[in-house]
Structure 1
Amino acid sequence: MGQNHQEYHESLEAVDDQADNPSNSGSLNEMVESGRRNFLKGGLGLAMAGFLGGSGLVSTAQAHYRPSQRPDIGFNPIPVEQNPNFDTVTVPKGYSAQSFFSWGDPVEQGAPAWQKDASNTWQDQMKQAGQNHDGIWFFPFRDKPNDQGLLVMNHEYINPTLHPGGLTFKEDENGLRFRPESEVKKEMAAHGVSIIEVKRSTDGAWVRVMDSKYNRRITGMTPMALTGEAAGTDMLKTMADPEGRTVLGTLNNCAMGFTPWGTYLTCEENWKNYFVNRDKDDYAQRVSHHRYGVSNQQNSAYYAWESVEPRFNATPDKEQAHGGYVNEPNRFGWVVEIDPFDPKSTPKKRTAMGRLVRECSTLSLGDSGQMAFYFGDDTRGEYVYKFVPDKVYDPKRLTSNTDILDSGTLYAAIFHDDGKGEWKPLVFGQGGLTRRNGFFSQADVLINARRAADIVGATTMDRPEWVAVHPTTREVYVTLTNNKHRGKKDDQSTNAANPREDNRHGQIVRFTEAQSDPTAITFDWEVFLLAGDRPGATLADNSKVPENLIGNIKGDIFSSPDGIWFDFQGRLWIQTDYGDDSERNYNMGTNQMLCCDPVTAEVKRFMVGPRGCEITGVTTTPDGKTMWVNIQHPEISFPASDGKTRPRSTTVMITKDDGGVIGS
């Protein structure tokens, strides 16, 4: 049988809403090296000088682009969109939005065109844009930083629209589900990352550079290297990879990050949904499975890839070396570093950064090159983390930065009720991370980072998602999307950072590291805003909105903050992900992107998306005059918007009609 769009998202939302926390508490070749030096001296310098204020990368650019603490937000906000048949994008007067890059568009020159009936093969899909565009970043070129560069973006998961008749399942008398091999391979090909070169043409329009040497697809089948402390250890070895150093593919790539040396960091989020361990006794004692929500039923949570690809069946096989594929789930949940400027490079899963159901990897760069990368672990009741590399960034010695993410300290955050916070190191032998508690090495700590955070007493949060770092103050903002189970028996009690029971709308928490040092182990924090409706608001049936659904937003209301990002001038952009057909979101309309003044916390609605979509991922050129935003899983027919064409996740390009800076 096939499964339609609405049924699919209802079932997927149910899977993703399950809590997993029982606790209440390479070298570069000459060409690539030269290319990156040009990139860092030019394009990246322009972008990073503003974005990472104080880093000293390019002093002249820094003087020009350094943002003030009070950004100019000059557009007139737009209203919510409640039309159930809305199938396009709206931006403020004076702005234009156009579809730029959609699922199925050819990535490489000569790749097959997208077929409206979804008849493209899995081999076609390997060379085409994947589904469900998510995190995105623009890497500008040196000579024309505002007119040419690489767009790199994630493809998180797949929709039934990938196939002509939806997802096909068959089931035997024991309840085991089976899938067609062609569908499974196409689904694996539709995951991962796209790298495309873009430029502004002579007439001023942005176009794809189809013959670019950089154009590349990275999929659920691309070979990748495991690096860092956990690489090569027994918990990463399988019958197909007895060395524990090579894994096929990256999955459920949600948000992202970048490095000051010009690489892209893609993050593996709900990878747990792809695996099954049917051995209940083994599952009960295997922390690396049950603490992360790997299925212990007959089938994996949704896709049943295990019926075609044995490596997704993580049930231990005592007849095979290394237990068959029992360790395959341990090879996902990592930060994957990709060199977009070397199309022949192997992506690297950096195990020193810990294994999570990870949303993002957001950089904060200090004055002396010290760094921290912040992560949200996107499941209700999970934690906020950061990774501090042992080495500092040295812009004068590029090759010395190549493997900088392979050593450092992973921390989990504690938000004390008095507004103080501390980072607890997840280091073997410290803070209870000992043999007595089931840890036998630092590799154990990294692979079971959630369990390690449990033991050190990290604060349970309401689905921590994206993280943004202010370009000059280095204040850190974390979106907590929602947690309808907060305060109920099967979940965590409220705390100061997560103050609402039955938290349907979420909040944003802001904190400042001691001395604004990314490597600090203490911080001050506050709830920046509570999302939700206005006091006195009513629902469709004229009943009063319950108190726990009321927010304290100054300006335009929204629910479920997800994506969050600072532009180079210091505007805070907030993107939402909620069920736009839910009664609790009746007043919110379709999902939206808003712009926020971080000083006053005033919020203005900048964009609304088509029915059924999530708005996620945003990036701009260094001058802030061209913006790209991703529209994920639209429901009707976007971007064709003709009411009949198969909907496609799409990157939308936004410009200001007068050529000015977006948001000004």
Structure 2
Amino acid sequence: MSHEHSHFHASLEAHDDIAINPSANPPLAELINPARRNVLKGGLSLAALGFFAGGISACSKAGASPLLGFQGVPVQIDPQFDRVLVAEGYRAVPFFSWGDPVEAGAPAWNPDASDDWQAQLKQAGDNHDGMDFFAFPGETERGLLVMNHEYVNPPLHPSGQIDQTKPRPLAEVRKEQAAHGVSVIEVKKGADGHWQRVMDSPYNRRISMLTAMRIAGPLAGLDVMKTVSDPSGLEVFGTLNNCATGVTPWGTFLTCEENWHNYFINRDKQDYEARVSHKRYGLAKEGTSKNYAWETADPRFDATPYADQAHGGHVNEPHRFGWVVEIDPFDPKAQPIKRTAFGRIGRECAALSLGADGRMAFYSGDDAKGEYVYKFVPAGRFDASQPQANRDLLDQGTLYVARFDADGSGQWLALVHGQNGLTVDNGFADQAEVLLNARAAADRAGATPMDRPEWAAVHPKTREVYVALTNNDGRGAKQPTDKANPRPQNLHGQVLRFNEQNADPTATAFTWELFLLAGENRGAKGQDGQPVPVNLTGTINGDLFSSPDGLAFDAAGRLWIQTDYDDSEAPMQAMGCNQLLCADPATREVRRFLVGPRGCEVTGLAWSPDGKAMWANIQHPGISFPASDGKTRPRSTTLLITKLDGGVIGS
């Protein structure tokens, strides 16, 4: 891994890790009645985690899982490890890398083309992230693989770095913008039994920061969405910082805009302090924007209000990001749609839970320290017999935020104007204001601040919901510990799971428990021979890991867990490189299935309909992956994973 590559990625993650939440919502012990509080006194220690034991599923000893049919692989602590290690009996090969041709006429990847943004518009974007597989109707061996490209690394340019002290060259900025977004590629199983890309498919498509998108839902056309570039407030160019995903029952792809705030700046300090829609989301307010200083070449990323420009210039441009974007993968001509009824946050995902009666919920984490877990419940129901009637179901519904009470119960608090303190007197003029400033609305409603909530996943059979809380080294300082977030200086994170009342995705009450705390074994000793601090130990039944990030279920009900931590940091060295693991929800056993190359994040999963092929993404690898020759520029890459005997992955 080059110094520049690792340093820049670390700087991006440092921006993402900043706690923005100013609320002083009470610790969970204060949310239960005094009689019960005495029972839980002192219950925030790790020793008291047995309070939740046997809640939804009982534990069993490692090695007893009937669901996990592979042997775990060892950690890789070699600082020069530059390949993928997968479980015995499996094959993992590079399938789709940054710069690979996508659309017709795309040239081959050129590592030195720093300003060829027209080519990048037709090639795979950078930093592959969440993805999903969409089978063609009636087919099992042909489909569309759709994936996010979260952000870019300086190795996009030959210099390997960005000078944010000078105006950026517009061509370089355009290439970076073109490398954001989404790729749609057709894949099929060949006559030789191997999955391959269909290079000349009419479905192959790139969506980027330069793609026009429609704004829909409650905020469409309102003054807060209008800019000098779009006085209608109905169309915006691009989607950015797309992390995790979701799918709809009608077969569309949901991509979620996560740390979009790092692309904007408002230098008017007085306006910044008064503008909740900027300050509560952490826009830059001096110097340049936090990521790439795009505003030095593209003025719409300068959200400073200027009196001589209509609609305040681009002051509203940040309002046009932070949404769920719906894409129809089977219609290359369809315009992507930003669905504003979901609310505006730093959204990780939109994980679907579909009830037998067509009622739905979409679960999301807001990825920053001390932020919240949300769900959106559409007002209408999915009707498979009326495909066109489903097309606008995401434009009306109720946004909720979670409160996790200390007795293992929970409440979904409606973010609806006039409810839960969301009134004019408290700064919310109407429902549009609530959705635009969903974080501030959640503060007021009394939601539980969480340890960086990221991906959610819904069990395909039980509808249990799992949420990854990656880590929070500020817990215990700015945010008190509580039952759901029990560790100060939480460097390793945890996974929560909860059951909606009556398994109804639209319920407003649920029960919850800690599925596991990530970290090292209790009683373990560090390199200095001293016991590992309690906040670094976990409750994992099986292979150890840190910082759960991506979560996904396969059709059999295996929970796949992907990690994201800085593998060069001392506390993470025992964990080695980032990993893909698999857990049995019933026994809670965890096994390590795959280890990625040094410096990477393992993220994004998709399966073929028969479960015999799995795709996983290696984001921002270090050194030279996938060439693994020690000298070639590293490229984010999608892996194709198959079982040598042709069986189902994980079985």
Answer yes or no: same fold by TM over 0.5: yes
Aligned partner of residue 417 in structure 2, secondary structure:
coil
* Alpha-carbon distance between aligned partners in 1 of 2:278 and 2:386, rounded to the nearest angstrom: 40
Aligned to 1:467: 456
Aligned partner of residue 73 in structure 1, secondary structure:
coil
* Alpha-carbon distance between aligned partners in 2 of 1:311 and 1:278, rounded to the nearest angstrom: 14
User: Aligned ranges for residues 348-359 of structure 1 at < 5 Å?
Assistant: 348-359=337-348
**Is this contact kept in 1: 2:403–2:410, CA < 8 A?**
yes
Which of 150, 153, 161 aligns to 2:144? It is: 150
Alignment deviations for residues 287-316 of structure 1 (CA, whole Å, 9 cap, x no partner)? 000000111112111210000110000000
Which letter does structure 2 place at the counterpart of 1:94? G
**How far apart are 1:481 and its partner, in Å?**
0.1
1:569 aligns with 2:556: yes
Alignment deviations for residues 7-40 of structure 1 (CA, whole Å, 9 cap, x no partner)? 2022112211111100122xxxxxxxxxxxxxxx
Which of 110, 117, 125 aligns to 1:122? It is: 117
**Is this contact kept in 2: 1:167–1:183, CA < 8 A?**
no
* Alpha-carbon distance between aligned partners in 2 of 1:24 and 1:607, rounded to the nearest angstrom: 40
Aligned partner of residue 606 in structure 2, secondary structure:
strand
* Structure 1 residues 271 and 351: alpha-carbon distance in aligned structure 2, compared to 1, 3 A threshold: same
Alignment deviations for residues 151-178 of structure 1 (CA, whole Å, 9 cap, x no partner)? 000000000110111233263xxxxx42
Aligned to 1:31: none
**Is this contact kept in 2: 1:364–1:474, CA < 8 A?**
yes
1:324 aligns with 2:313: yes
Aligned to 1:536: 523
**How far apart are 1:120 and its partner, in Å?**
6.5
Which of 614, 622, 626 aligns to 1:627? It is: 614
Which letter does structure 1 place at the counterpart of 2:89? G
Aligned to 1:63: none
- Identity across the alignment (%): 63
Aligned to 1:87: 82
Aligned to 2:246: 257
Aligned to 1:456: 445
1:165 aligns with 2:159: yes
1:74 aligns with 2:61: no
Which of 106, 112, 116 aligns to 1:111? It is: 106
Which of 631, 634, 637 aligns to 1:644? It is: 631
**How far apart are 1:3 and its partner, in Å?**
8.6
Aligned partner of residue 224 in structure 2, secondary structure:
helix
1:17 aligns with 2:4: no
User: Aligned ranges for residues 308-387 of structure 1 at < 5 Å?
Assistant: 308-387=297-376
**Is this contact kept in 2: 1:277–1:297, CA < 8 A?**
yes
User: Aligned ranges for residues 19-58 of structure 1 at < 5 Å?
Assistant: 19-25=19-25
**Is this contact kept in 2: 1:539–1:584, CA < 8 A?**
no
Which of 510, 516, 521 aligns to 1:523? It is: 510
1:479 aligns with 2:468: yes
* Structure 1 residues 108 and 120: alpha-carbon distance in aligned structure 2, compared to 1, 3 A threshold: farther
* Alpha-carbon distance between aligned partners in 1 of 2:519 and 2:114, rounded to the nearest angstrom: 42
**Is this contact kept in 2: 1:514–1:523, CA < 8 A?**
yes
Which letter does structure 2 place at the counterpart of 1:399? Q
Which letter does structure 2 place at the counterpart of 1:168? I
Alignment deviations for residues 500-521 of structure 1 (CA, whole Å, 9 cap, x no partner)? 0000000001100000000000
**Is this contact kept in 2: 1:619–1:628, CA < 8 A?**
yes
* Alpha-carbon distance between aligned partners in 2 of 1:614 and 1:408, rounded to the nearest angstrom: 34
Aligned to 1:60: none
* Alpha-carbon distance between aligned partners in 2 of 1:139 and 1:306, rounded to the nearest angstrom: 36
Which letter does structure 1 place at the counterpart of 2:547? S
Aligned to 2:384: 395
**How far apart are 1:118 and its partner, in Å?**
4.4
Which letter does structure 1 place at the counterpart of 2:498? F
**How far apart are 1:119 and its partner, in Å?**
4.8
* Structure 1 residues 170 and 420: alpha-carbon distance in aligned structure 2, compared to 1, 3 A threshold: closer
* Structure 1 residues 136 and 130: alpha-carbon distance in aligned structure 2, compared to 1, 3 A threshold: same
Which of 236, 258, 261 aligns to 1:269? It is: 258
Which of 209, 216, 240 aligns to 1:220? It is: 209
Which letter does structure 1 place at the counterpart of 2:546? S
Alignment deviations for residues 583-609 of structure 1 (CA, whole Å, 9 cap, x no partner)? 111210000010000011100000000
Alignment deviations for residues 408-445 of structure 1 (CA, whole Å, 9 cap, x no partner)? 00000000011000001001111111111111111110
**How far apart are 1:71 and its partner, in Å?**
6.1
RMSD: 1.2
**Is this contact kept in 2: 1:314–1:328, CA < 8 A?**
yes
* Alpha-carbon distance between aligned partners in 2 of 1:170 and 1:375, rounded to the nearest angstrom: 33
Aligned partner of residue 399 in structure 1, secondary structure:
helix
**Is this contact kept in 2: 1:540–1:586, CA < 8 A?**
no
**How far apart are 1:72 and its partner, in Å?**
2.0
**How far apart are 1:140 and its partner, in Å?**
0.9
Aligned partner of residue 380 in structure 2, secondary structure:
coil
Aligned to 1:28: none
Which letter does structure 1 place at the counterpart of 2:205? R
Aligned to 1:7: 7
Number of corresponding residues: 611
Which of 206, 228, 253 aligns to 1:239? It is: 228
* Alpha-carbon distance between aligned partners in 2 of 1:167 and 1:125, rounded to the nearest angstrom: 18
**Is this contact kept in 2: 1:420–1:522, CA < 8 A?**
yes
**Is this contact kept in 2: 1:71–1:571, CA < 8 A?**
no
Which letter does structure 2 place at the counterpart of 1:163? H
Which of 202, 207, 220 aligns to 2:196? It is: 207
Which letter does structure 2 place at the counterpart of 1:79? P
**How far apart are 1:220 and its partner, in Å?**
0.7
Aligned to 1:61: none
**Is this contact kept in 2: 1:539–1:583, CA < 8 A?**
no
Aligned partner of residue 86 in structure 2, secondary structure:
coil
Aligned to 2:532: 545
Aligned to 1:286: 275
* Alpha-carbon distance between aligned partners in 2 of 1:457 and 1:646, rounded to the nearest angstrom: 47
1:601 aligns with 2:588: yes
**Is this contact kept in 2: 1:114–1:120, CA < 8 A?**
no
Aligned partner of residue 12 in structure 1, secondary structure:
helix
* Alpha-carbon distance between aligned partners in 1 of 2:107 and 2:417, rounded to the nearest angstrom: 50
Unaligned runs of 5+ in 2: 26-64
Alignment deviations for residues 175-218 of structure 1 (CA, whole Å, 9 cap, x no partner)? xx421111111000000000000011111121111111110000
* Alpha-carbon distance between aligned partners in 1 of 2:149 and 2:545, rounded to the nearest angstrom: 25
